Chains A and B, each alone.
Chain A
Amino acid sequence: MRNFLQDLENNEAILLIYLADELSAADRLEVEQMLASDAALRGELEILRQTQQLAYDSLETLDSVSRPAAPPIVALGQVSRMMHEWTDRRRRPEPVVAVIRRPLPWRRMSVSAAAVLLVGYYIWAVYQPTTPMHHPSRVTIGSPYGEEPSPFNPDNISPVPPSRELSSQEKMALLTNSLEDSASEEASNLHVAEVAAVTPADSSDQNTTGEP
């Protein structure tokens, strides 16, 4: 504790803590030896003692002539009530919180997983890139139309070719084709007439042609 006195900055600090009786026996003895040998220090101690007494007397006088912030009985009653409420709360048993343990939700989980798979599959199926309708490999699995292309699929609607002016060669080719078609049609008609002529069962209307 010898360091304690050495740590104090000045005589006032040493004397104050000596007056407060907060020194160890050894330190106290040391201070008393200093006081015995130093009259100025003794005078300083006396002034300090009187000043401290004056400060404490002032506070005591002030407390005696001024009323407290709240009547002591009221303040004490309030604190006492708080203490009793506090101890009552501690005495009360903690409310037991019932923990309801549900069975493992394996069934719900499996149903949920199946639903997720179905929804995912449906989305995948709807947004699959479609193939042209004449493609033989196109099979829409799960389509309500079987192997038939869906009429609602915009990919299956044949685009309308843009109208344009035909060149003379194309017109000629079309004309030639149409003539050839009509000629072949006539030839087939003649062939039918010949067949009808050699068949007597079909008599009535065949005679109307005027042929023998």
Chain B
Amino acid sequence: MSSDDATPVSDEALVRRLRAGDDRAGDELAARHCASLMRYLQRLVRSDHLAEELHQQTWTSTLEHLDRFDADSGGGGFKAWLYRIATNKAHDLWRARGREKSVKQSLILITEEMGPDASHRLEGAEAEISLRAAIESLPENQKQILLLRYYANLKFVEIAEMLGCPLNTALGRMHKAMIHLRKLLAEPQSVQAPGTETQGAESRIP
């Protein structure tokens, strides 16, 4: 897991200190969540450029609304709130640009990324491509729960609340995602490269 559970000071306490004007509390919050949030967005939107843009937008929005954050209102605390903002930003992006365009753009960016760095990562390239293809071939609603569970280390109850679905639905999607992934990794030939999905895959709604 990418998040550190053994933190002496809670995120909520850091938020209180940040509100009081403590810069170091802000730095600590950023250090705790920056990398995992970036990875989550990178896997979610399948584009480095868009992930970076959304990452900045998420933190900007978080700071803008930090005074409204209520740690005692439930809903999983600061981390769940941060990832909820990020997920909403990604949804807004999907809605704005349309899924088809996003897929095309991410395909272009993936191709651009792979080109110049291929010589430096020869040994990992094949594994990366097949793993990336397997994860990206997951239906969006399943992938979202898997990514939130892995990168944000949120509880299933928090994830269900964040996504606005019943707990059983969230657990069912997670189970399907894992089964799907196991099947894809066991049969790599059935994994399609991203952007070459069939019509059925394109019709998935995030």
Chain A nearest CB: distance from B66 CB in Å?
Answer: 8
Tell me which residues across on chain B come within 8 A of A69, comparing CB atoms: 38-39, 41-42, 48-49, 51-52, 55
Which of these, A17, A22, A80, A91, contacts B27 with CB under 8 Å? Answer: A80
Which of these, A48, A68, A79, A80, contacts B39 with CB under 8 Å? Answer: A68
A56 near B150 with CB under 8 A, answer: yes
Find the A residue at minimum CB distance from B45: A69
Tell me which residues across on chain B come within 8 A of A8, comparing CB atoms: 167-168, 171
B52 near A51 with CB under 8 A, answer: no
Give the segment of A31-39, A82-90, A103-111 that binds chain B.
Answer: A82-90
B124 near A87 with CB under 8 A, answer: no
Within 8 A of B (CB), among A155-199: none
Find the B residue at minimum CB distance from A72: B35
Which of these, A20, A66, A80, contacts B30 with CB under 8 Å? Answer: A80
Interface assignment of A117: CB less than 8 Å from any CB of chain B = no
B48 near A70 with CB under 8 A, answer: yes
B175 near A13 with CB under 8 A, answer: yes
A82 near B60 with CB under 8 A, answer: yes
Interface assignment of B185: CB less than 8 Å from any CB of chain A = yes
Quick one: given A16-B171, A91-B21, are A82 and B63 in contact (CB under 8 Å)?
yes
- A65 and B113 CA atoms in complex are apart in Å by 13
Tell me which residues across on chain A come within 8 A of B179, comparing CB atoms: 51
- A13 and B156 CA atoms in complex are apart in Å by 10
B38 near A70 with CB under 8 A, answer: yes
Which of these, A16, A52, A62, contacts B131 with CB under 8 Å? Answer: A62
Tell me which residues across on chain B come within 8 A of A87, comparing CB atoms: 18, 21-23, 26
Tell me which residues across on chain A come within 8 A of B22, comparing CB atoms: 87
- A175 and B34 CA atoms in complex are apart in Å by 123
Question: How many residues of chain A get a CB closer than 8 Å to chain B's CBs?
Answer: 40
A67 near B117 with CB under 8 A, answer: yes
Instruction: Give a binary string over B55-67; 1 marks a CB under 8 Å from any A CB, 0 the rest.
Output: 1100110010010
A63 near B30 with CB under 8 A, answer: no
- A20 and B167 CA atoms in complex are apart in Å by 13
Interface assignment of A61: CB less than 8 Å from any CB of chain B = yes
Tell me which residues across on chain B come within 8 A of A84, comparing CB atoms: 23, 26
Chain A nearest CB: distance from B24 CB in Å?
Answer: 10
B38 near A68 with CB under 8 A, answer: yes
Chain A nearest CB: distance from B21 CB in Å?
Answer: 5
- A76 and B114 CA atoms in complex are apart in Å by 24
- A66 and B155 CA atoms in complex are apart in Å by 27
Interface assignment of A207: CB less than 8 Å from any CB of chain B = no
B124 near A86 with CB under 8 A, answer: no
Interface assignment of B90: CB less than 8 Å from any CB of chain A = no
Tell me which residues across on chain B come within 8 A of A70, comparing CB atoms: 38, 48, 51-52, 55
A13 near B178 with CB under 8 A, answer: no
B51 near A83 with CB under 8 A, answer: no
Interface assignment of A58: CB less than 8 Å from any CB of chain B = yes
| A-binding residues in B (CB < 8 A) | 1-2, 18-19, 21-23, 26-27, 29-31, 34-35, 38-39, 41-43, 48-49, 51-52, 55-56, 59-60, 63, 66, 113, 117, 121, 124-125, 127-128, 131-132, 134-135, 146-147, 149-151, 155-157, 167-168, 171-172, 174-175, 177-179, 181-182, 185
The 9 sampled A-B contact pairs (Cβ below 8 Å) are A8-B171, A13-B167, A13-B168, A48-B175, A51-B182, A54-B178, A54-B182, A79-B59, A83-B63
The 3 closest A-B pairs by CB, nearest first: A83-B26, A65-B124, A69-B51
**Further pairs besides A8-B167, A67-B113, A84-B23: 16, Cβ < 8 Å:** A9-B172, A13-B171, A13-B172, A22-B156, A54-B181, A59-B131, A59-B135, A59-B150, A69-B39, A69-B51, A72-B35, A75-B34, A76-B31, A76-B35, A79-B30, A79-B59
